[in-house]
């Protein structure tokens, strides 16, 4: 059977659409954040302008951060980056063995302490910040994708280190007076997923 001709621009348009559909980027602010500290196990730090991470005075120091992703349920995550502004440190910088994990239970920034902190899972070792007075950028796509797809409930991130020396650094929290330095989640996503179609399949339509 003789194949009918078809406009090349139709093919190009179809291939372009099949690769990217309704791409968006949003910058989200935390819905809550806090730090839990082992050496002050009953103290809440939810109202502080600082998030701490590391080990200090004989206790672990772990920040918790949560973003509201309810408006993005079912989207296709292309990338997601957690951005934290580092402004001060003590001891070696950065501490060794920095990790990020998925929080598995609900918590409240104004009541969470070391003694009632939520559980966490899926911890992954990550690179630390490169310098003070700069943004620490963390690839968080796998966690965010699990949350928006409904694979896991979204209770946020926990960060920590395995360095038992008194090494730590400080980051601004969502309570900081300058919103430009508050934690952020950069989310790049598609509303829908369109399956790519081969050129042969398109030609078949025009037979």
Residue 29 DSSP code:
P
Confidence of residue 172 (pLDDT cuts 50, 70, 90): very high
User: Is 15 inside a domain boundary?
Assistant: no
User: Does residue 56 lie within any of the structural domains?
Assistant: yes
Mean pLDDT of the 163-172 span: 94
Note whether residue 148 is domain-resident.
yes
* 88 part of a folded domain: yes
Share of the chain above pLDDT 90, in %: 79
pLDDT band at 11 (very low <50, low <70, confident <90, very high): very low
Domain count, the chain: 1
Mean pLDDT of the chain: 88
Q: Does 82 reside within a domain?
A: yes
Asked if the model's pLDDT at residue 182 lies above 70, the reply is yes
Question: What is the residue whose two structure tokens read 């007076």?
Answer: 177
Q: Is 2 exposed, middle or buried (0-12, 13-18, 19+ CB in 10 A)?
A: exposed
């Amino acid at each position: 059977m003789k194949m009918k001709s078809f406009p090349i621009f139709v093919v190009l348009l179809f291939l372009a659409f099949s690769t990217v559909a309704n791409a968006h980027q949003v910058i989200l602010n935390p819905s809550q954040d806090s730090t839990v500290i082992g050496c002050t196990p009953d103290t809440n730090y939810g109202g502080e302008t600082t998030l701490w991470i590391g080990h200090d005075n004989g206790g672990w120091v772990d920040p918790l951060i949560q973003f509201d992703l309810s408006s993005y349920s079912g989207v296709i995550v292309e990338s997601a980056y957690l951005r934290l502004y580092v402004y001060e440190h003590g001891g070696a910088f950065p501490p060794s063995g920095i990790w990020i994990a998925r929080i598995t239970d609900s918590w409240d920034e104004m009541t969470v302490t070391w003694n009632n902190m939520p559980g966490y899972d899926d911890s992954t070792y990550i690179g630390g910040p490169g310098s003070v007075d700069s943004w620490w950028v963390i690839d968080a796509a796998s966690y965010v994708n699990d949350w928006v797809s409904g694979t896991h409930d979204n209770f946020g991130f926990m960060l920590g280190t395995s360095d038992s020396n008194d090494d730590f650094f400080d980051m601004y929290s969502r309570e900081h007076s300058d919103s430009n330095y508050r934690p952020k989640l950069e989310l790049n996503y598609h509303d829908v997923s369109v399956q790519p179609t081969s050129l042969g399949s398109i030609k078949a339509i025009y037979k």
